[in-house]
């Protein structure tokens, strides 16, 4: 098909329309600049009060509002969501860059016990960059423990889970009475109890929901389990918020219960799937050639697990006897699912019918989360399709 050159009148019409687009783009840029100025006011406000940059609920509400607005005016909500996520990401990163340099209690002395390890090195870097005096106590430094503890403001224990309680017992007698005793262990019940039992001063439990390779603290979650906290002991939490992180407070028991699902069950199920593929010597590359993006996403998660440190995962999965009981229950539920699929033991109902009925009950229970899940996984799948 040959294209026709527009005549003079049509050219004028086109120029008018293009002019209108230029005008609107100009206004969009002006509006973004005005938005950015207000963001700067928010930064100043938060900086003064040492508040978190990222508020997941506020961002989710904003996105929902923009999506609904888009629908009303005939714009694709996914298109709007992508634009606004980009705008929010930018303003968040400028806010974080501005706020994260600030030390909430610069000059305070922090001892990182196990500071030569992966998480220890991460926190050494961040505290040092914010003006804290960081000391490290490693396996071979115990003869200097008294010197390392003198004048301390916080001792942060970052040794392997199995070593944490004995390290608390060994360290506690050397700590100044107002020093905060804290830990980064992934299991909170036994460690917070050991700190409270062995040290009469302030106690805090931390669990970073991120690994040592994170390049940023922005939007990273830090769970804080209360121990023995005075108002003047809030600075570590405030520091994390100032770095752009999100602080979630939870009792140790609730934390451990949730972590059993989020970490132990999740990782164990992934391990089990990977092990099954291995035992059957499945040709992974060949399966990928046939694969739906969903399978690819799942296999990525399995491959990711086996690319990491087995010690870390064994520590998490086998951390407490309760976790083993949970995994046994999971196995039982697996077996019952299989029974449901065979026609036996279903009280006359065929296996497929009971599967469908159970599926519907579960779908109802998942409720509105299903919409969110479709949206989020759809986003990931599309990204995967774009790239691979
Ligand atoms: P790691 O093995 O890399 O580091 C542990 C460090 O502790 C090592 O440098 C080791 O030499 C030192 N250490 C061991 N026994 C010691 C002792 N008695 N005295 C002094 N130092 C001793 O482990 P990591 O991954 O950094 O994990 C540390 C803590 O952080 C663990 O409690 C873990 O549950 C928690 N955590 C880890 C991650 C993660 O992704 N790695 C995430 C969240 C929480």
Q: What is the CATH number of the domain that holds 329?
A: 1.10.3660.10
Buried b / exposed e along 65-81 (16+ C-beta atoms within 10 A): ebbeebeeeeeebeebb
Q: Whose CA is nearest to atom 40 of ligand 1?
A: 211
Residue 3 lies in a domain: no
CA 316 to ligand 1: nearest atom = 34
Residue 132 lies in a domain: yes
Quick: pLDDT tens for 160-210.
999 999 999 999 999 999 999 999 999 999 999 999 999 999 999 999 999
Mean pLDDT of 348-367: 87
- Residue 154's SS3 state is strand
Q: Which of the residue ranges 8-12, 204-208, 326-330 would you say has the lowest mean pLDDT?
A: 8-12
The chain-wide mean pLDDT, for the chain, equals 90
Total domains in the chain come to 3
Residue 346 has pLDDT above 60, yes or no: no
Same domain, 362 and 289: yes
Q: How far apart are the first and last CA of the chain?
A: 34
User: Distance of alpha carbon 73 from its chain centroid, rounded?
Assistant: 34
Same domain, 241 and 114: yes
Residue 244 lies in a domain: yes
Structural domain that includes position 191: 109-250
Residue 13 has pLDDT above 90, yes or no: yes
The CATH number linked to 187 is: 3.40.50.720
Same domain, 319 and 293: yes
Place of tokens 């040092």: 128
The answer to whether 111 touches 154, Cβ cutoff 8 Å, is yes
Q: Whose CA is nearest to atom 39 of ligand 1?
A: 211
Q: Which pLDDT belongs to residue 384?
A: 84
Banded pLDDT at 348 (limits 50, 70, 90): low
Q: Which residues sit with their C-beta closer than 6 Å to ligand 1?
A: 113-114, 116-120, 137-139, 158-161, 163-164, 167, 184-186, 208, 211-212, 312
Task: Give the whole-angstrom CA distance, residue 160 versus residue 312.
Answer: 8
Task: Give the whole-angstrom CA distance, residue 315 versus residue 311.
Answer: 6
Per DSSP bridges, beta strands 221-228 and 246-249 are parallel
Same domain, 124 and 88: no
Q: Calculate how far, in angstroms, residue 325's C-alpha sits from the geometric centre of ligand 1.
A: 26
Quick: pLDDT tens for 36-58.
899 888 877 876 776 766 677 78
Q: Whose CA is nearest to atom 18 of ligand 1?
A: 139
User: Distance of alpha carbon 137 from its chain centroid, rounded?
Assistant: 28
Q: Whose CA is nearest to atom 17 of ligand 1?
A: 139
Angle between helices 369-387 and 351-366 (to 10 degrees): 100
Q: Calculate how far, in angstroms, residue 311's C-alpha sits from the geometric centre of ligand 1.
A: 11
Q: Calculate how far, in angstroms, residue 249's C-alpha sits from the geometric centre of ligand 1.
A: 22
Which range has highest mean pLDDT (76-90, 93-107, 187-201, 341-355)? 187-201
Q: Calculate how far, in angstroms, residue 183's C-alpha sits from the geometric centre of ligand 1.
A: 10
Residue 5 lies in a domain: no
Same domain, 221 and 328: no
Q: Which pLDDT belongs to residue 50?
A: 66
Q: Calculate how far, in angstroms, residue 113's C-alpha sits from the geometric centre of ligand 1.
A: 9
Q: Which pLDDT belongs to residue 100?
A: 62
Q: Which is more confidently placed, 360 or 346?
A: 360
Residue 4 lies in a domain: no
Quick one: tokens of 253? 């028991």
Same domain, 50 and 156: no
Task: Give the whole-angstrom CA distance, residue 40 versus residue 134.
Answer: 31
CA 161 to ligand 1: nearest atom = 32
The CATH number linked to 47 is: 1.20.59.10
Residue 244 has pLDDT above 90, yes or no: no
Kindly report the number of other CB atoms within 10 A of residue 172's CB atom: 20
The answer to whether 240 touches 222, Cβ cutoff 8 Å, is yes
Q: Which pLDDT belongs to residue 98?
A: 62
Same domain, 262 and 235: no
Q: Whose CA is nearest to atom 32 of ligand 1?
A: 185
Banded pLDDT at 343 (limits 50, 70, 90): low
Same domain, 164 and 273: no
Same domain, 161 and 182: yes
Residue 184 lies in a domain: yes
- Residue 348's SS3 state is coil
Closest to 86 in 3D by CA, of 148, 141, 35? 35
Mean pLDDT of 225-246: 92
Last residue of a domain, one of 229, 250, 271: 250
Last residue of a domain, one of 214, 229, 250: 250
Residue 364 has pLDDT above 90, yes or no: yes
Q: What is the DSSP string of 170-232?
A: HHGGGS-TTPEEEE--S--HHHHHHHHHH-SS-EEEEEESS-TT-S--TT-EEEEEEEE--GG
Residue 101 has pLDDT above 70, yes or no: no
Residue 302 lies in a domain: yes
Which of 116, 118, 121, 125 has the most ligand 1 atoms within 8 A of CB, as the residue to mutate? 118
CA 208 to ligand 1: nearest atom = 43
Quick one: tokens of 37? 């100025």
CA 311 to ligand 1: nearest atom = 2
Q: Whose CA is nearest to atom 9 of ligand 1?
A: 117
Q: Which pLDDT belongs to residue 216?
A: 82
Residue 187 lies in a domain: yes
Q: Which pLDDT belongs to residue 59?
A: 82
The answer to whether 224 touches 249, Cβ cutoff 8 Å, is yes
Same domain, 220 and 237: yes
Last residue of a domain, one of 207, 230, 250: 250
Q: Is the dihedral of CA 66, 71, 73, 78 positive or negative?
A: positive
Task: Give the whole-angstrom CA distance, residue 156 versus residue 249.
Answer: 18
Task: Give the whole-angstrom CA distance, residue 137 versus residue 174.
Answer: 13
Q: Calculate how far, in angstroms, residue 161's C-alpha sits from the geometric centre of ligand 1.
A: 7
Q: Calculate how far, in angstroms, residue 114's C-alpha sits from the geometric centre of ligand 1.
A: 6
Task: Give the whole-angstrom CA distance, residue 271 versus residue 268.
Answer: 5
CA 210 to ligand 1: nearest atom = 42
Same domain, 94 and 113: no
Q: Which is more confidently placed, 56 or 220?
A: 220
Which of 114, 120, 323 has the most ligand 1 atoms within 8 A of CB, as the residue to mutate? 114
CA 120 to ligand 1: nearest atom = 26
Banded pLDDT at 341 (limits 50, 70, 90): confident
Q: Which residues pair with 224 in a beta bridge?
A: 206, 249
The DSSP H or E segment spanning 282 is none
Q: Which pLDDT belongs to residue 97?
A: 64
Same domain, 210 and 238: yes
């Amino acid at each position: 098909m040959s294209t026709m050159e527009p005549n003079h009148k049509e050219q004028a019409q086109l120029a008018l329309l293009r002019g209108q687009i230029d005008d609107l783009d100009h206004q969009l840029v002006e509006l973004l600049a005005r938005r950015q100025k207000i963001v700067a006011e928010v930064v100043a406000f938060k900086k003064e009060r040492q508040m978190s940059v990222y508020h997941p609920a506020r961002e989710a509400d904003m996105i929902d509002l923009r999506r609904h607005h888009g629908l009303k005016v005939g714009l694709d909500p996914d298109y709007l969501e992508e634009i606004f996520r980009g705008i929010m990401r930018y303003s968040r990163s400028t806010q974080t860059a501005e706020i994260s340099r600030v030390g909430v209690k610069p000059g305070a002395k922090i001892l990182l016990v196990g500071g030569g390890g992966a998480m220890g090195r991460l926190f050494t870097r961040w505290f040092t960059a914010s003006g804290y005096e960081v000391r490290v106590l490693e396996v071979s430094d115990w003869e200097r423990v008294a010197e390392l503890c003198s004048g301390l403001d916080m001792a942060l224990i970052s040794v392997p889970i199995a070593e944490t309680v004995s390290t608390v017992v060994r360290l506690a007698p050397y700590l100044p009475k107002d020093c905060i005793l804290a830990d980064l262990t992934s299991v909170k019940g036994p460690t917070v109890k050991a700190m409270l039992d062995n040290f009469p001063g302030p106690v805090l439990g931390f669990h970073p929901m991120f690994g040592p390779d994170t390049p940023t603290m922005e939007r990273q979650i830090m769970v804080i389990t209360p121990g023995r906290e005075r108002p003047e002991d809030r600075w570590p939490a405030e520091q994390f918020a100032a770095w752009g992180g999100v602080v979630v407070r939870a009792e140790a028991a609730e934390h451990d219960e949730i972590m059993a699902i989020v970490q132990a069950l999740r990782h164990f199920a992934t391990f089990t799937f990977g092990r099954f593929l291995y035992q059957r010597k499945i040709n992974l590359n060949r399966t990928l050639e046939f694969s739906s993006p969903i399978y690819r996403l799942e296999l990525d998660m399995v491959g990711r697990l086996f690319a990491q440190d087995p010690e870390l995962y064994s520590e998490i999965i086998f951390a407490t006897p309760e976790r083993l009981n949970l995994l046994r229950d999971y196995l039982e539920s697996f077996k019952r699912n299989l029974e449901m699929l065979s026609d036996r033991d279903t009280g006359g109902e065929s296996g497929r019918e009971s599967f469908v009925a159970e599926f519907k009950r579960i779908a109802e229970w998942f409720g509105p989360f299903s919409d969110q899940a479709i949206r989020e996984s759809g986003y990931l799948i599309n990204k995967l399709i774009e790239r691979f």
